[in-house]
Amino acid sequence: MKKYSGVIILVFIPLLIRGQGEIDTESNMLYRDERSFAILLNSNGVGGNFRYGRRITYLKKTLYEFDLAYIRHPKEVKVTSSSYYNTSRNYVYGKINTFFNIRLGIGFQNEIYQKHDKGGISVRYFYNAGLDIGLLKPVYYTYYSSRLLSDYTKVDSFFVDKFKDQHPTSTEIVGRASFFYGMDEIAIIPGIFGKAGITFEFGKSEKIINALEAGVIVDAFPKKIRIMETEENNQLFLSLFVSYRFGRGIDVSNKVRKKTKIDEILIQ
């Protein structure tokens, strides 16, 4: 019986290996920097992200990130323009400002589960914090107005204006005006933010990054951001996000790298 045991083992070894996944024969990049982009879907809007990840140890990176996010008010509801005016420029009734947020952050990433074969998944957690640069741009609407002259002649006209609670009864909103109205009135509102999340990277190559991320973002500003014509505007924004990340890994395993002060703090 013993003489057959070796044969049985040899027969099952390929099956066992196959069951564990296809072994990655590509040379592993132990020190891999990262340049990647992400498309974010937030609970209060959408956005994009650029990340440069600088490897500081085998499992840790320093993250330098740039976000551009469009933030919606929870009370926003789109209104369909009347077909009478032959326009498809829908609008949000009561919206007085469009709010974009630029985030500039520095953070840290740690790998907690490594990918050992093609088709595997690596798991990492990350967090970063930094500066918010809020951009508040006024929203303009196209209005229709009609009035009667002294001889009872009806005069129709169209004009562009910001949202107003009170208009003559003969005036109504036709639709939103061009986005470029109000570009010279943009207000800059600084703030701070913090972000934390988890990354699941599933790419088959160490050189190509494909990952899904999920987490939470908190943006804080010194005053309320007036997006809608209501008292219920916020200065603190808490949002959940999911994102798809793609990019390239950069092999720096042969480079002698000096640690920065940030790296030294994060390693501790």
- How does pLDDT run across 80-111, given as a tens digit for each residue? 766 566 665 788 888 999 999 999 999 999 99
Cα dist from 134 to 4, 52, 208, 226, whole Å: 73, 22, 33, 12
Please state, in angstroms and rounded to a whole number, the distance separating the CA atoms of residues 56 and 259: 7
Question: Does residue 37 sit within a domain?
Answer: yes
How are strands ordered across the β-sheet holding 154-162?
154-162, 140-148, 171-176
pLDDT of the residue at 256: 52
CA neighbours closer than 13 Å in the CB half-sphere of residue 17: 9
pLDDT of the residue at 255: 64
Please state, in angstroms and rounded to a whole number, the distance separating the CA atoms of residues 235 and 72: 13
pLDDT of the residue at 6: 47
pLDDT tier, 252 (very low <50, low <70, confident <90, very high otherwise)? confident
**In the predicted structure, residue 246 carries a pLDDT above the cut 70:** yes
Question: Does residue 35 sit within a domain?
Answer: yes
More confident residue, 249 or 235: 235
pLDDT of the residue at 225: 96
pLDDT of the residue at 174: 82
Question: Does residue 89 sit within a domain?
Answer: no
Average pLDDT for residues 222-230, to the nearest whole number? Answer: 93
**In the predicted structure, residue 8 carries a pLDDT above the cut 90:** no
Please state, in angstroms and rounded to a whole number, the distance separating the CA atoms of residues 253 and 60: 14
pLDDT tier, 57 (very low <50, low <70, confident <90, very high otherwise)? confident
Please state, in angstroms and rounded to a whole number, the distance separating the CA atoms of residues 222 and 235: 7
Which domain, by its residues, includes 255?
A: 25-77+95-138+182-267
Question: Does residue 168 sit within a domain?
Answer: no
Cα dihedral: 263, 264, 267, 268 (round 10): -150
Q: Could you give the number of structural domains in the chain?
A: 1
Question: Does residue 31 sit within a domain?
Answer: yes
- Domain CATH number, residue 228: 2.40.160.20
End-to-end CA distance of the chain: 57
**In the predicted structure, residue 49 carries a pLDDT above the cut 70:** yes
pLDDT tier, 117 (very low <50, low <70, confident <90, very high otherwise)? low
> Chain-wide mean pLDDT for the chain?
80
Question: Does residue 15 sit within a domain?
Answer: no
Query: Looking at residue 180, what DSSP letter applies?
Result: T
When mean pLDDT is compared over 125-134, 139-148, 163-172, the highest value belongs to 125-134
Place of tokens 């982009």: 37
Question: Does residue 67 sit within a domain?
Answer: yes
204, with CB counted inside 10 A (0-12, 13-18, 19+), is middle
Question: Does residue 172 sit within a domain?
Answer: no
pLDDT of the residue at 155: 72
